[in-house]
């Protein structure tokens, strides 16, 4: 992997990641963007006194680009006289600081990850070499952001589909570097600590062991990864992907797990797209890496995993959060997890 760092016209960092080491990366951002002084774009973090949650207040995001046509996409390469966020005429994978970040400066950092220069592709269309490069990029960014003093946790994720709320159709994901431990991760750490106190065992290990032993919710069982619909799935079709050897974050994956990941992950995404039959719009989904916070107690016992889910519950029907979910965080799932797992097994390639 070749890594080339440069700066956009307004001072934001952009990093090219290439599989070919001889690829020149000397294109200059020629847009007339004003150079932003350090800290000019910042979000405010406020803490909810009742729930203890941190909320980012980022009013500057109101003006961000929203679902532009393909010929105006800011994530496509700069070519044919049109200038975009990526100065090069082509690229493999690119990461850059978000122009409209939810977190910036002392409140963290937000990055955009473009998986391919092909506007009309999706992650599921990538080959295994490109998917492996994306995994390397996620790992590299996790390592780079870990050394920032203000960062406590790194979250790599992809939102796909207008139904999910994406504002750009180009295949891309994001990375949030939080200055705090997120509420969801904090709850996992509390549950793991309570489980250890009660049983003397690791919660993440026991969750995986239970799913493997029961088998009814396992979707893919590979040598180094296992994918399953969780026993108490929140979403109609939800899969959790764990390395069989527990590690706290992406940096700790061994070579065998890294080599096997692209094939397993691409197969999962392709099954999601086949769930609702031919002729349907691509399945909207959220794909999210859960990594251990850097300085939290219980870090060593945390289990890295990816959670993949769709809000589509049937053809032409979406799972909207109703009063119970939005108001009280009590989910009601219309699809039994065992049924979801069976359908995802039936959607296997070949």
What is the per-residue DSSP string for 321-339? --HHHHHH-----SS-HHH
Report the sign of the C-alpha dihedral through residues 180, 185, 191, 195, in that order.
Answer: negative
Residue 266 near residue 273 (C-beta atoms within 8 A): no
> Do 20 and 89 sit in the same domain of this protein?
yes
pLDDT at 4: 97
191 and 57 together in one domain: no
Task: Give domain status of residue 44, yes or no.
Answer: no
Between 281 and 304, the more confident residue is: 304
pLDDT tens for 70-127 read 889 999 999 999 999 999 999 999 999 999 999 988 899 999 999 999 999 999 999 9
172 catalytic, yes or no?
yes
Residue 337's domain is classified under what CATH number?
Answer: 3.30.428.10
Q: What is the pLDDT of residue 59?
A: 77
Same domain, 241 and 335: yes
CB 285 within 8 A of CB 272: yes
Average the pLDDT over 20-24 and give the result.
89
Q: pLDDT at residue 39 above 80?
A: no
Examine the domain organization and report whether 74 and 200 are in the same domain. no
**Do 314 and 195 lie in a common domain?**
yes
- pLDDT for 41: 64
Its domain, for residue 148, covers: 2-33+52-182
46 located within any domain: no
Same domain, 157 and 18: yes
Residues 134 and 196 in one domain: no
Residue 276 has pLDDT above 60, yes or no: yes
Relative to beta strand 218-221, strand 225-228 is antiparallel
**Residues 164 and 24 reside in one and the same domain:** yes
Task: Tell me, yes or no, whether 195 and 331 share the same domain.
Answer: yes
Closest CA to 246 of 193, 285, 300: 300
Prediction pTM value? 0.95
Q: Is residue 41 part of a domain?
A: no
Last residue of a domain, one of 147, 167, 182: 182
Residue 28: inside a domain: yes
* Cα(133)–Cα(2) distance, integer angstroms: 10
**E strands along the chain, which residues?**
2-7, 13-18, 44-47, 54-57, 93-97, 109-114, 153-160, 172-178, 218-221, 225-228, 237-243, 285-290, 305-310, 312-314, 317-318
Considering Cα of 120, then 310, then 128, then 290, what sign does the dihedral take?
positive
In this prediction, residue 63 has a pLDDT band, given cuts at 50, 70 and 90, of low
Beta bridge partners of 286: 159, 309
Using the structure block, give the residue that is written with the tokens 């990366």: 25
d(CA 100, CA 185): 25
Classify residue 67 as exposed, middle or buried by CB count within 10 Å of its CB (0-12, 13-18, 19+). exposed
Whether 349 shows a pLDDT value over 90: the answer reads no
144 and 291 in one domain?
no
End position of a domain, from candidates 182, 197, 231: 182
Length reported for the chain: 350
Specify whether 18 is located in the same domain as 144.
yes
- The closest of 19, 138, 14, 18 to 74, measured between CA atoms, is 14
- Residue-wise pLDDT tens digits, 297-307: 889 999 999 99
Instruction: For residues 41-54, give the mean pLDDT.
Output: 87
Number of structural domains found in the chain: 2
**Domain's final residue, options 135, 166, 182:** 182
Q: What average pLDDT is seen over the chain?
A: 94
| Catalytic hit among 60, 66, 172, 320 | 172
* pLDDT tens digits for range 144-194: 999 999 999 999 999 999 999 898 999 999 999 999 999 999 999 999 999
pLDDT at 70: 87
In a domain? residue 188: yes
Q: What average pLDDT does the segment 195-219 reach?
A: 98
According to the model, what pLDDT value does residue 152 have?
A: 96
Between residues 78 and 41, the one the model is more confident about: 78
Measured distance CA(134)–CA(254) in Å, rounded: 16
Regarding whether 19 and 94 lie in a shared domain, the answer is yes
């Amino acid at each position: 992997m070749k890594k080339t760092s440069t700066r956009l016209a307004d001072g934001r960092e952009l990093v090219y990641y290439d599989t070919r080491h001889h690829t020149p990366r000397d294109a200059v951002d020629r847009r007339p963007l004003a150079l932003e002084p350090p800290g000019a774009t910042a979000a405010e973090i406020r803490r909810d006194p009742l729930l203890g949650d941190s909320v980012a207040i980022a009013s500057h995001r109101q003006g961000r680009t929203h679902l532009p046509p393909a010929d105006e996409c800011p994530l496509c390469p700069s070519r044919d006289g049109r200038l975009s966020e990526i100065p090069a005429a082509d690229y493999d994978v690119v990461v850059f600081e978000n122009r409209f970040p939810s977190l910036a400066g002392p409140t963290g950092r937000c990055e955009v990850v473009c998986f391919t220069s092909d506007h009309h592709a999706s992650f599921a269309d990538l080959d295994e070499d490109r998917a492996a490069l994306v995994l390397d990029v996620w790992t590299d960014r996790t390592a780079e952001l870990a050394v920032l003093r203000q960062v406590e946790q790194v979250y790599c994720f992809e939102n796909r589909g207008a139904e999910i709320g994406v504002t750009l159709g180009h295949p891309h994901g994001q990375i949030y570097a939080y200055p705090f431990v997120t509420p969801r991760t904090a709850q996992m750490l509390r549950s793991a600590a309570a489980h250890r106190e009660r049983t003397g065992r690791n919660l993440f290990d026991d969750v995986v062991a239970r799913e493997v032993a029961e088998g009814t919710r396992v979707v893919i069982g590979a040598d180094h990864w296992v994918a399953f619909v969780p026993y108490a799935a929140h979403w109609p079709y939800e899969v959790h992907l764990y390395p069989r050897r527990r590690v706290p974050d992406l940096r700790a994956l061994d070579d065998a797990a890294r080599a096997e990941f692209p094939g397993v992950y691409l197969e999962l995404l392709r099954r999601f797209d086949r769930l609702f039959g031919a002729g349907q719009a691509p399945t909207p989904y959220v794909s999210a890496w859960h990594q251990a916070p850097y300085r939290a107690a219980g870090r060593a016992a945390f289990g890295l995993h990816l959670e993949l889910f769709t809000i589509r519950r049937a053809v032409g029907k979406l799972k909207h959060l109703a009063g119970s979910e939005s108001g009280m965080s009590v989910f009601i799932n219309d699809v039994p997890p065992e049924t979801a797992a069976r359908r995802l097994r039936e959607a296997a390639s070949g």
